[in-house]
Amino acid sequence: FFCISVSPGAQPFLEQIENSAEALQDYGVSVVKVNCPKEDVSRYCGKENAVRKAYLFRGNMLIREFPTDALFDVNSIVANVLFALLFNEVKYVETLADLQKIENALKGRSNMVFAYVPATGTAEHRAVMEAAFAYGTLHQFVLTTEATLLKDTGNDESDVSSARLLFCHCQQATDLAEPCRRTAMGQTLTMLNIHRHLKLMGAPLVTEVAEDPEKVSTVHLQLGLPLVFILSQKETYEADRSTAEFVAWQLLGKAGVALLSRDLVDLNILLRSNVALKTPDEGVPIKYLVLEDTDEVITLVEDKNKIEQIQEEEEEEEEEEDEEEKENNNQDIQDDQVVEAVSRDKKRELPLEQILVLTEETFHSALLETARTVVLFYASWEAVSLAVLRSYTEVADHLKGTRGVLLSRVNCWDWPGVCTKENVTQLPTIKIYEKGERSVMYNGMWGTEELTSFIMLSRVSCPLKLATIDEAEGYLRGEFPSELSSYHHTSLLGVFSTATSEAREAFEEAGNILSGHVTMGMYFEDDALALSRKYAVSPPALLLARSGGRSVEGIALSKQSAQDMVRMIRYESLDIFPEITVQNLPRYLQFRKPFLILFSDGDTSQMESKEMLKLAKGRPQQAFVACWLNLKKTPVGRGVLKAYFATMPSLPVLVWVNLHAGGQVFKFPSEQSITEMNILSWLEKLKAGLEIPSSTLSEEDWKPPLPAYDFLQMMETAVPELPLHTSHRHGDTPERHPPESPGGDTAVREEPAQETKAEKVGSPGRDLRGTAPRLAAREKQGKRHSKL
Amino acid sequence: LGLALYASSLRGVSGAAFLYHDYCVIGAGPSGLQAAYFLQQAGRDYVVFERSHAPGSFFALYPRHRKLISINKRYTGKSNSEFNLRHDWNSLLSHDRRLLFRRYSRDFFPDADAMVRYLEDFASLLKLQVQYNTAIIHVTLERDRQAWNGHYFLLTDQDRQNYKCSSLLVATGTWVPNVVNFPGSEYVEGYETVSINPEDFAGQTVLILGRGNSAFETAENILGVTNFIHMVSRSRVRLSWATHYVGDLRAINNGLLDTYQLKSLDGLLEGDLEDLAIVKDKKGKLHITLRFYLENRNTSAGIDSVTLPQDELDNFATRAPYDRVIRCLGWKFDFSIYNRSLRMMPGKGNKKKYPQIKPSYESRSTRGLFVLGTASHSVDFRKSAGGFIHGFRYTTRAVHRLLENRHHGVPWPSTVYPITQLTNSIIKRVNEASGLYQMFSILADIILLRENATAFEYLEEYPVGILAELETQTGRKAPNGLFVVIMEYGRNFSGADKDVFYYNRAVGEAQHAWQSNFLHPVIYYYKRLPTEREMRLRPPDWPLPRPDAVHHIVEDFLTDWTAPNAHILPLRRFLENCLSTDLRNFFA
């Protein structure tokens, strides 16, 4: 290749030709690049267009010049160069007549390899040329790019876009009128496949064998193909020979055929067997078969290949299954996310400095030191405990500097006595102890926020006695007590006249129970009547201030027990049309009522909330919980919707779901607008059973995620004689008997009989008579005693 | 309660002849005091009779060489008081932290005097009702259909004072020395009186009869000054570290094994003492011969005519004469004070030193008579620790709980937990419970499932031998299936002949946990309570009949079963699959 200067257009070609240099080397072709000096105006450098060509020389003779755009990659370079070099060995034909002329000329002399490539310069072309380089002297290679030639050679089913190679057995052909027999190569045209095919074609059609078939090895076996033996006898030799040849032609390229004469080899096989099959796999014994006709032989081989393929596939699948099974059998892999998270973090030390460690000795004295002591009872080995301990340190951080609250912890693994005495039946447990007095157990979520809020609310006595009407008003506005002003909660105020002590006591008791969860105040000064009148109730009454006192409801209190009051307060302090979050869901679930949920991507539209609020407010003692869920804030809602509807419905979507009875899910028709009226009439239809549920949630329990080790079965497999069912007793080990079971008189009575039997059988030392002579006897015992 | 009221009113009626108590305890040893403690805590009418002037009189004399072989481990690196009891073999159970034995002795193997002091303090600090200097010499029954058990126990002391009791707790231990009678046994000194001053044995040749800890303890004391010691016994040496039974020979006393195996003149022989005879020669030396020869000889002939084994077999092992023969054959229960109507029968075979009792510790033939302490060891002889303080302190508590339920309608104490705490409560107990650990294979925690398995009831340290009677014995109901948490050694691991130090003796992987050899927790699951028949027909060596499922928590070198993946996870999977539920925790 000559170039004047490295022009940018020639750069890709230069790379390719450099890459092909090595491949060409194998065929004795060197690649040279000549840098033409500017002033050189010789034959190659001088010509204007010469620099876009590559030249092939043999010696100093120019053979061919190639336009560089025909040499686009290594394959095309090698193919074209060899094509030029093997001009005589590889005939290029364009017409059928040319092909027939060549074929006829070869008959009786040599075989022909006929290849069709859709285009020159391809990988297939290169493969054919490379094969021709190796076998060109042996067979006549014929190449064409004409698809019509391919069709005429009888390969009509093949599509013309893929290259084909046919081996034409012209050497043995005698009839000039008939085309040579052809054997098509089944595989794609690669150098290796062509080589393999030509090898097979070159092998004798039928091999005659006179030795142990186990020792026979032919080209076919070496190339991974099976070998079919036709078992022959002297009497039928001629017929067998022609059968073998017929079969061989059928199986050409798929299997080898050998003719085995039974008379020459001593075979220990059935006399009836007429065919044997030897597979290339080592160690697989030869199969001897009794077959009816040649078709069976052919199907045997072809099916064998098929079966093998299927088996291979199956094996692969099985392997995959095995792997899957192994994966499923991950019993020893932690699947508890809390345990997993805790052990992942086990090396990270928690900043526990701010949390006082209490022991059996210090527990009681510590409780007396601060107004309120928060105690986390935990076990250092327990995962949830450690996860909560983490949130607890964050709580400690939040409450740093807060007066009157001491955060502490007791490790129940170190001090089980304290935990038992404090009635800790769950790990972890958080309790708030009021100086030397009562304690409140926390039963909310373990998150930092919830815990902090609980502790903060617990700081204020519940219910809080309000002294003046101003305090009471301030309390309703959420301004008093000041330490709670940052915690927005529904405030409850019990208003009592001095006479109604019964209701007040119940209220106070309810306050004790609800401490930490709600803010409760009470007012029972002389002017309580005035306060209650302002909100249109008369004492005893409950004032409910939502959202910072903007709306205050009055509820009359009748003669309720503390428990009833707790229930009522819990219910009343909930929001009317709440946004459901993971944290507050349990509070609403506890009513065990159906849910009417509006799933919304982001905030609900004002119109929708207005209508829903109307709906929810309209029926104060609702038979359902009306709420909404913000998918942006609570992404798990998407999973919920998917469980309900399989696909995501368009948002917003209003859903009626009754988790506690039947689990039916109904979807409010999306074409209707969400208005109180529409919803109500829809609910009526639901009630009347006129609507079809979108889905029904299964009542499937929480099943074990994975099986356990079946030790019982392992014991039975490992120790089959283990009498797990029967009561076989060993007489010779009476001391190892389990204690007699109550009422086991029969068993006890059996024992002595067995013992005496055992004593007679063996265990010297036991028998009284046996021992005396043994201590003295001279014959056998002498040795033993001297040794003693 | 009606019965109790009736019984207390009876006190006034019965008059001066009998002093009445609901519960009479005979013996103010460790188990008697332990029983007294629980009776006192429960506010029961009881009395303890002690023949001596102080509690624990056995320990005032025994062990003769004063070294207790029960360990007093003062440090475990843990503050968990329940866990620490696993390694405190001397303390009794009480709420009083002063009454921990480590406050009484600094020695790992403490002096017996410390035990005497401890028991004195235990009785006095807890103000237990012990009547000293009262030896019960006779016990009989008085039939009365109104009585708790259909009869009263009538006790008579050495001053002919009579006592009447509704329930009798026998805590007399085994204190009657075992003796053997053979010709010449009059030359034998007993362990109870033999000198403990080694100087008295200087240059002597000693034969010790017996092969228990007392025999080896005696030998240990004089090993350095004797010519040599021979020890003869019917059975082979059983080493406690090979059998994991604390009653077998403890390593602390086994100096003689050393000197025997190193051929330093001392030796061990096997032979039946019943066949022995001892003759004394003129010099006062004691010769071993056989009863067999003595029976054949002419009785009128002198000492010289006695055939000695070496006359026929000149290399007979014990042909050398001895200066002293000491008997260290242990003790047996005193059966003599019981009227025949109580049918206090000795056990069978090697348990004949103990009275026959049921796995509930109640006498086989007399209802209302419970045997406590060492005398109750027939339940777990050569198996567990029921014959020793660190074992019977728990079985005594179990008996008390059975009595509370039977006579006072107080059901077996239990705690109800939500099902989410199932794994935790098992892990907590198997890691710290001392009763399960010491009384392995005998006491078990029982988990009774509530309906739908949403909650469960946890009962601690119930005698597993009476599992079938659980409902009547505890007053708790088990209609929804139960778990039994117990500790076990590997079934074929230890024994007198076994090499307990073989390679790969410990199992490390959870999936092979059932092959664990060392003490490890095992959890049995039953869909319903096993019947008495099933209990009776259980496989040999199994504490329980075939369960519906069983789980072994793999043995642990540190006996710390809190590893999340090796211990807790497989346990959770087992529980989940028994209950067909998911017990995982989730982050919200």
pLDDT tens per residue, range B412-435: 999 999 999 999 999 999 999 999
Q: How far is CA A108 from CA A104, A170, A200, in A?
A: 9, 6, 19
| CB-count burial class (<10 Å; 0-12, 13-18, 19+) for A687 | exposed
Structural contact between residues A117 and A90, judged by C-beta atoms closer than 8 angstroms: no
Of residues B178 and A83, which shows the higher confidence score? B178
pLDDT tens per residue, range A638-655: 888 888 887 888 888 888
Residues 219-248 of B with CB under 8 A from A: 234-236
Q: Where are the beta strands (DSSP E) in A271-404?
A: 275-278, 287-289, 356-358, 372-378
pLDDT of residue B315: 82
Residue A158's identity, in one-letter code, is S
pLDDT tens per residue, range A163-204: 888 888 887 777 777 777 888 887 788 888 888 888 888 788
The confidence band for A730, taking pLDDT boundaries of 50, 70 and 90, is very low
Q: Is A357 helix (H, G, I), strand (E, B) or coil?
A: strand
| CB-count burial class (<10 Å; 0-12, 13-18, 19+) for B176 | middle
Residues 581-610 of A with CB under 8 A from B: 582-583
Please tell me whether the peptide bond between A652 and the residue prior to it is cis, using omega within 30 degrees of 0. Answer: yes
Q: What is the mean pLDDT of residues A722-728?
A: 47
Place of tokens 């290949």: A305
Residues 342-381 of A with CB under 8 A from B: 342-343, 359-360, 379, 381
pLDDT of residue A505: 84
Please give the Cα distance from B47 to B42 (Å, whole number): 14
Maximum separation of any 2 CA atoms in chain A, in Å:
134
Please give the Cα distance from B547 to B528 (Å, whole number): 10
Q: For chain A, how many helices (H) and strands (E)? A: 26, 29
- pLDDT of A69 above 70: yes
For an interface test with B, the pick among A711, A719, A722, A766 (most B C-beta atoms closer than 10 Å) comes out as A711
Structural contact between residues A743 and B537, judged by C-beta atoms closer than 8 angstroms: no
Sorted by sequence, the CB contacts under 8 Å of residue A538 that are 6+ apart come out as A529, A532, A556
Q: What's the whole-number average pLDDT of chain B?
A: 90
Please give the Cα distance from B73 to A21 (Å, whole number): 85
Pairing assessment for the beta strands A519-523 and A464-465 based on DSSP bridges: parallel
Question: Would you state the structure tokens that stand for residue A348, as one six-digit string?
Answer: 């990270």
Across B273-307, b (16+ Cβ under 10 Å) vs e yields bebbbbbeeeeeebbbbbbbbbeeeeeeeeeeebb
Structural contact between residues A653 and A597, judged by C-beta atoms closer than 8 angstroms: no
Of residues B478 and B499, which shows the higher confidence score? B478
Please give the Cα distance from A688 to A681 (Å, whole number): 11
Helices assigned H by DSSP within B126-236: 213-222
Q: How far is B436 from chain A (nearest CA, A)?
A: 16
Helix axes A74-85, A123-135, angle to 10 degrees: 40
- pLDDT of A779 above 70: no
pLDDT tens per residue, range A249-277: 888 888 888 888 877 777 667 677 788 88
Q: Cβ of B572 and A336 within 8 Å?
A: yes
pLDDT of residue A543: 84
Q: What is the pTM of this model?
A: 0.70
Sorted by sequence, the CB contacts under 8 Å of residue A742 that are 6+ apart come out as B358, B359, B360, B465, B466, B468, B469, B532, B535
Residues 748-767 of A with CB under 8 A from B: 748, 751-752, 755, 765-766
pLDDT tens per residue, range B442-451: 999 999 999 8
Residues 419-438 of B with CB under 8 A from A: 420-421, 424, 427-428, 431-432
Sign of CA dihedral B241, B247, B250, B255: negative
The confidence band for B575, taking pLDDT boundaries of 50, 70 and 90, is very high
| CB-count burial class (<10 Å; 0-12, 13-18, 19+) for B544 | buried
pLDDT of residue B411: 96
pLDDT tens per residue, range A24-48: 888 888 888 777 766 665 667 666 5
The dihedrals phi and psi of A447, each to the nearest 5 degrees, come to -70, 160
Of residues A455 and A622, which shows the higher confidence score? A455
pLDDT tens per residue, range B463-483: 999 999 999 999 999 999 999
Q: Where are the beta strands (DSSP E) in B480-526?
A: 482-488, 520-526
Q: What is the mean pLDDT of residues B540-560?
A: 91
Q: Cβ of A765 and B547 within 8 Å?
A: no
Q: Cβ of B348 and A751 within 8 Å?
A: yes
Nearest to B441 by CA among B405, B485, B499: B485
Q: How many Cβ atoms from other residues are within 10 Å of residue A381's Cβ? A: 22
pLDDT tens per residue, range A95-138: 888 888 888 888 878 888 888 888 888 888 888 888 888 888 88
pLDDT tens per residue, range B135-182: 999 999 999 999 999 999 999 999 999 999 999 999 999 999 999 888
Q: Cβ of A708 and B570 within 8 Å?
A: yes
pLDDT of residue A743: 40
R_g of chain A, CA atoms, integer Å:
48
Q: What is the mean pLDDT of residues B337-366?
A: 93
Question: Given B272, B381, B424, which is nearest A382 (Cβ)?
Answer: B424
Question: Would you state the structure tokens that stand for residue A93, as one six-digit string?
Answer: 């034909």
Measured in Å, how far apart are chain A's first and last C-alpha atoms? 105
Q: For chain B, how many helices (H) and strands (E)? A: 16, 22
For a pLDDT cut of 90, what percent of chain A falls above it? Answer: 7
- pLDDT of A757 above 60: no
Of residues A687 and B345, which shows the higher confidence score? B345
The dihedrals phi and psi of B184, each to the nearest 5 degrees, come to 95, 5
pLDDT of residue B421: 94
Please give the Cα distance from A250 to B59 (Å, whole number): 103
Q: What is the mean pLDDT of residues A41-56?
A: 67
Sorted by sequence, the CB contacts under 8 Å of residue A263 that are 6+ apart come out as A233, A234
Nearest to B578 by CA among B422, B417, B421, B444: B422
Q: What's the whole-number average pLDDT of chain A?
A: 76
Beta bridge partners of A116: A144, A164
Q: Is B72 helix (H, G, I), strand (E, B) or coil?
A: strand
- pLDDT of A4 above 60: no
DSSP B392: H
Residues 374-393 of B with CB under 8 A from A: 378-383
Across A348-380, b (16+ Cβ under 10 Å) vs e yields eeeeeeebbebebebbeebbeebebbbbbbbbe
- pLDDT of A159 above 70: no
Residues in B closer than 8 angstroms to A415, CB to CB, are: 79-80
Helix (H) or strand (E) run with residue B48 in it: strand B46-49
Question: Given A332, A335, A788, which is nearest B317 (Cβ)?
Answer: A788
A782–chain B Cβ distance below 8 A for any pair: yes
Residue A380's identity, in one-letter code, is S
Beta bridge partners of A515: A518
Residues in A closer than 8 angstroms to B309, CB to CB, are: 775-776
Q: Cβ of A416 and B587 within 8 Å?
A: no
